[in-house]
Amino acid sequence: MATANHNLSQYDKNTIPNAKLFRFGIVVSEWNATITDGLYQGAYEALIDCGALPENIVKWEVPGSFELIYGCKRMIKHQVDAVIAIGSVIQGETKHFDFVCEGVTQGIKDLNVTTETPVIFCVLTDNNLQQSIDRSGGKHGNKGTEAAIAAIKMADLRRNK
C-alpha cells in the first residue's frame, strides 16, 4: 500500500511556490460527502497556508465522482490556474466501482492532455470506508492536502515555465 506509514499532509513550505497570485478551482463530489468534505478541507487549508487568497479559491459541487469530469471541464473556463477534482469511490459488491474509477481516471487524464489547465486527481478509490477515512484526515493524513500542493506546483509550472 503506497500510503502505509506515510502522512499525506506533510510538506515543506520552503519548497512550494507562493500561491498568492494563483486562482484555484476545486470541484467536489457530493457522494461520500463525509470523505470528500474532509478532502476539501485539507486542500483548502493547504492552499491558504501556502498563500492563496480565499477569494481566489472557487468551489463547485457535483453529484458524484463521475460528474467531476464535466465539472472540471466547466471550471477550466473560469480562468483558473489549476483545478482539483475531489471524489471518493468505495468498492461495493458490483463492477460499478471499476467503471466509475476507470471513467473518472481517463476523463481527468483527457482534460490534462487536451487543455492548458492542470487538473489534479484527488479521487480516493478505496476498498472500504476505513481506508477512505484514513486518507481524508485520518491516520495517513489528508490526500486533499497533497492535491493542493500538486495544484500549486502545477499552476506555477503552467504560468512560469
Q: Which of 6, 78, 96, 140 is catalytic?
A: 96
- What pLDDT score was predicted for residue 1? 40
Residue 92 domain flag: yes
CA distances from 128 to 20, 91, 114, 118, 160 (A): 37, 6, 33, 29, 40
Identify the bridge partners of residue 59 per DSSP, sorted by sequence position.
Answer: 26
Residues 6+ apart with CB under 8 A from 107: 68, 69
Residue 104 domain flag: yes
- What pLDDT score was predicted for residue 38? 97
- What pLDDT score was predicted for residue 4? 57
- What pLDDT score was predicted for residue 98? 86
- What pLDDT score was predicted for residue 92? 86
Domain that holds residue 29: 18-160
32: domain CATH number is 3.40.50.960
Cell, residue 59 = 468551489
Active site residue 96: yes
- What pLDDT score was predicted for residue 97? 87
Residue stretches of the chain with pLDDT short of 70:
1-8
Residue 6 domain flag: no
Residue 13 domain flag: no
Residue 45 domain flag: yes
Residue 103 domain flag: yes
Residue 39 domain flag: yes
Domain count across the chain = 1
Q: What is the pLDDT of residues 70-113, one digit of tens each?
A: 999 999 999 999 999 999 999 988 888 889 999 999 999 999 99
